[in-house]
């Protein structure tokens, strides 16, 4: 079938069967073919009976096979949609997830409630990766003065590219968690982070699409997945203003543990666990 298909719909049928057979999402074929043809979904569906150019066919077959072998679709296309915008991604950064869009939704609502005045607010995104949180917060709430950090220069390069492409004015800082700001005595009104939170043992049961391609420094965090939250609690008191807002994403089922660690660091804070659209605990916030 690989050699014989000529039409767009035949290519999609082949991809769907091949992907299903190898336990991959059958919709990946559509996404990949849209990418190589440079069209949106409605245009793709309108061209089902068009002939597929030979060079596109070759690229498409190669991409589908690459995804079956484990490479995430987003690393093949080089992009992912997040909060209605397109972000560049590669294997130096975590692929932005829909759950993180919910972290932003909650943060924006809490900022309005906690900071009703129009004076500029300073926000920092720790472990920015692709820059999805920092860039989105700046564009959704332009009054924010946004700083974003990552320990890896290679990740910051991707984030900076996204910030430039989407015209988001952000200060990019390379450093380990809050160390660069503690050294300078810099403080913030708002801190958001989607840190690594997967227990190391979970690696055995996770898809190779994740474990063999996404950066481990952005995924795993010790035996119970809470190492980074513990480190944050030691450093946060040095950089947070009052009133202030702290928001973290975490793995489903970690809510009580992260909330407890956060409440211990800020005994007077209002700490709340928020649930995602699927009813799973996913975010914790502390209002100082």
98 is annotated as contributing to ligand binding: no
- Bond prior to 153 in cis (omega within 30° of 0): no
53 is annotated as contributing to ligand binding: no
197 is annotated as contributing to ligand binding: yes
128 is annotated as contributing to ligand binding: yes
131 is annotated as contributing to ligand binding: yes
Could you tell me if 95 and 89 are in contact, meaning their C-beta atoms sit under 8 angstroms apart? Answer: yes
72 is annotated as contributing to ligand binding: no
130 is annotated as contributing to ligand binding: yes
79 is annotated as contributing to ligand binding: no
Q: Does an H or E element contain 246, and which?
A: strand 240-249
Annotate 155-223 with three-state secondary structure: HHHHHHHHHHHCCCCEEEEECCCCHHHHHHCCCEEEEEECCCCECHHHHHHCCHHHHCCCCHHHCECCC
> What separation in angstroms does the CA of 147 have from each of 134, 190, 264?
7, 10, 26
β-strand partners of 281: 275
How far, in Å, CA of 106 to CA of 99, rounded? 11
> Which residues, other chains included, contact 61 with Cβ-Cβ below 8 Å and sequence gap of 6+?
2
Could you tell me if 171 and 186 are in contact, meaning their C-beta atoms sit under 8 angstroms apart? Answer: no
Could you tell me if 28 and 67 are in contact, meaning their C-beta atoms sit under 8 angstroms apart? Answer: yes
Report the candidate in 83, 105, 6 with the shortest Cα–Cα distance to residue 49. 6
129 is annotated as contributing to ligand binding: yes
195 is annotated as contributing to ligand binding: yes
Binding annotation: 127-131, 150, 194-197
Binding annotation for substrate: 194-197
Binding annotation for S-adenosyl-L-methionine: 127-131, 150, 194
């Amino acid at each position: 079938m690989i050699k014989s298909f000529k039409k767009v719909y035949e290519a999609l049928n082949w991809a769907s069967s091949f992907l299903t057979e190898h336990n991959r999402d059958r919709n990946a074929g559509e996404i990949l073919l849209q990418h190589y043809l440079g069209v949106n979904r409605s245009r793709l569906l309108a061209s089902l009976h068009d002939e597929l150019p030979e060079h596109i066919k070759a690229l498409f077959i190669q991409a589908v096979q690459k995804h079956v072998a484990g490479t995430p679709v987003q690393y093949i296309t080089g992009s992912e949609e997040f909060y209605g915008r397109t972000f560049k991604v590669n294997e130096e950064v975590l692929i932005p997830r829909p759950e993180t869009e919910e972290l932003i939704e909650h943060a924006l609502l809490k900022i309005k409630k906690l900071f009703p005045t129009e004076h500029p607010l300073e926000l920092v995104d720790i472990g920015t990766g692709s820059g999805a949180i920092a860039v989105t917060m700046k564009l959704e709430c332009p009054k924010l003065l946004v700083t974003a950090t990552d320990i890896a220069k290679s990740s910051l390069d991707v984030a900076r590219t996204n910030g430039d492409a989407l015209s988001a004015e952000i200060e990019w800082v390379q450093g380990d968690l809050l160390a660069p700001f503690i050294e300078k005595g810099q403080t913030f009104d708002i801190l958001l982070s989607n840190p690594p939170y997967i227990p190391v043992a979970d690696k055995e049961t996770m898809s190779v699409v994740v474990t063999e391609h996404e950066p481990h420094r952005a995924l795993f965090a010790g035996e119970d997945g809470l190492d980074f939250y513990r480190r944050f609690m030691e450093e946060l008191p040095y950089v947070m203003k009052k009133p202030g807002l702290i928001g973290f994403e975490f793995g489903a089922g970690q809510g009580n543990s992260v909330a407890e660690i956060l409440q211990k660091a800020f005994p007077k804070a209002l700490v709340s666990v928020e649930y995602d659209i699927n009813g799973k605990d996913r975010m914790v916030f502390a209002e100082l």
